[in-house]
Amino acid sequence: MSLAESLNILSQIVLYLAFGCMIIVAYRNAVSLTQLLLAAYVFATRVKPSSASLDLWHRYADLALPISVIAPAFNEELSIVESVKALLALEYPEHEVIVVNDGSSDKTLATLITNFDMVKTNRQQIAALQTTELFGAYKSKTHPNLWVIDKENGRKADAANAGIGFARTPLVCVIDADSIIEPDGLLRAAEPFMLDDGKMVAVGGAIRIANGCEIRGGSLRKIGLSKNWLPRFQVVEYLRAFLTARVANAHFNTLLLISGAFGVFRRSTLVEMGGYRHDTVGEDLELVVRMHRHMREKKEDYRIDFVPEIVCWTEAPAEWGGLKNQRARWQQGALETLIKHWRMVGNPRYGRIGLFAMPQVVIEDILGPPAELIGYLVVPLAILLGLLDPIAAVAYFCMTVLFGTGLSLGTLILEEIQLRRTPSAADLARIGAAAFIENFGYRQANLVFRFIGIKRHFKKETAWSPVPRVGFGAA
């Protein structure tokens, strides 16, 4: 093969790659726009829930199903007292809090025992779903509805399973120990179960960034915005994820992810499924996908819902290293889930989950990130080689930057209309600026982090990469 022929083949490859990447990015943008419009429709046409906690209490105090709040904790001594106080203060007629100390190497357990006057009890599990050893159960002398389970380290899924095994209530809420639910969050999460005829198996809520907020005594005193640009970028991401994608997917009962930071589940369904899987780093995604599969294969009518008015505040990574570990883990978990449940992809047996939701995950998590990252490289190369009109490069830039910024701003408008969790016009402007600036470095870094997750998956690296926390006071 001559040099000219080799260059011609290379040119054709570059050209096809450039067009392929542009098509995939255009498709992803079209899906995002559709989700935004559908979310706007859902918000505009549904009955807006009461914004007053007192109204919720009067309406559901006699109907609310008892609920166990399960908080897996590993090395959370910086924020565990604040978090537990917030869980105990939740406005709910009957709830218990079960903190599962997952073999912490810091003073998490000692901090809990000291601050809440814990004593050892002989409470037993009614379902053993965990795979690691239990060391003991503790009950608070000052708060009768607070329990602490001490166990060998087995990661979050195993800790959540241990808590589910100790729960005695019809509903369980699994929450990150470093997260704070707004006081009426449990009532809002339980409402779909109370208004349902038994079909509801899971409910998720919106997650917001606590960095920059004032949190004292376990409660959110003042909403704020971090001075650090990294958490600001994540505010934009979370708004897009929770107020567009999940609202739209829940509307069609194709919701595949309830955030590990907050989710409410029918306990009997979790026990029937065997709880969370231990062999994945993306246990929250895998659980909901398997829940769909489980219910479809049983041919039972069911529903998984999302309530945007439920707001749970969590500390976001404030450093690049922590963000890298978090996003790589998310990508690795998505790949593991797709591989475990690949038979669902495109399979009409699983209805709209198999025909639409699972293929969308393939595009978003398998094809999308490489296509976008490769596009940043091959589109300029195609222009330099004279294979692509510079106008096409401008179109690609508009698709990846301007269009994405417009979608983010549209989501911000929805947030301001529906939830109003942004305290000032100045903060709205700062978030809007972050929606534009994130396209120049942050978005590309996230693509690299995803590739790291892909590499870890194929190298079968299963170690849990930590995300450093500074605690709510400093966040």
Report the distance separating Cα 105 and Cα 246, nearest Å: 36
- 149 and 267 in a single domain? The answer is yes
- 332 and 400 in a single domain? The answer is no
pTM of the model: 0.90
Domain count, the chain: 2
- 71 and 110 in a single domain? The answer is yes
Q: What angle do CA 97, 104, 67 make, to 5 degrees?
A: 15
Residue 469 lies in a domain: no
Residue 473 lies in a domain: no
Residue 295 near residue 201, CB atoms below 8 Å: yes
- 115 and 17 in a single domain? The answer is no
Residue 475 lies in a domain: no
In terms of residue numbers, what domain contains 315?
A: 50-344
CATH code of the domain covering residue 121:
3.90.550.10
- 66 and 128 in a single domain? The answer is yes
- 325 and 357 in a single domain? The answer is no
- 225 and 93 in a single domain? The answer is yes
- 317 and 364 in a single domain? The answer is no
Residue 225 lies in a domain: yes
- 152 and 252 in a single domain? The answer is yes
- 330 and 378 in a single domain? The answer is no
Torsion of CA 110, 178, 88, 153, to 10 degrees: -50
Residue 474 lies in a domain: no
Report the distance separating Cα 150 and Cα 103, nearest Å: 7
- 15 and 146 in a single domain? The answer is no
Residue 261 lies in a domain: yes
pLDDT tens for the 475 residues of the chain, in order: 676 667 677 777 777 787 787 788 888 888 889 999 999 999 888 756 655 555 665 566 667 789 999 999 998 888 788 788 888 988 888 899 999 999 999 999 999 999 999 999 999 899 899 999 999 999 999 999 999 999 999 989 999 999 999 999 999 999 987 788 888 888 888 888 887 778 999 999 999 999 999 887 667 888 899 999 999 999 999 999 999 999 999 998 999 999 988 999 999 999 999 999 988 888 999 999 999 999 999 999 999 999 988 888 888 999 999 999 999 999 999 999 999 999 999 999 999 999 999 999 998 888 888 888 888 888 888 888 777 778 877 777 777 788 888 889 999 988 888 777 887 888 989 999 999 999 889 999 999 999 899 889 888 887 766 676 666 555 4
Q: Which residues pair with 71 in a beta bridge?
A: 99
Which of 352, 370, 350, 349 has the alpha carbon at shortest distance from 360?
352
Residue 199 lies in a domain: yes
- 39 and 181 in a single domain? The answer is no
Residue 3 lies in a domain: no
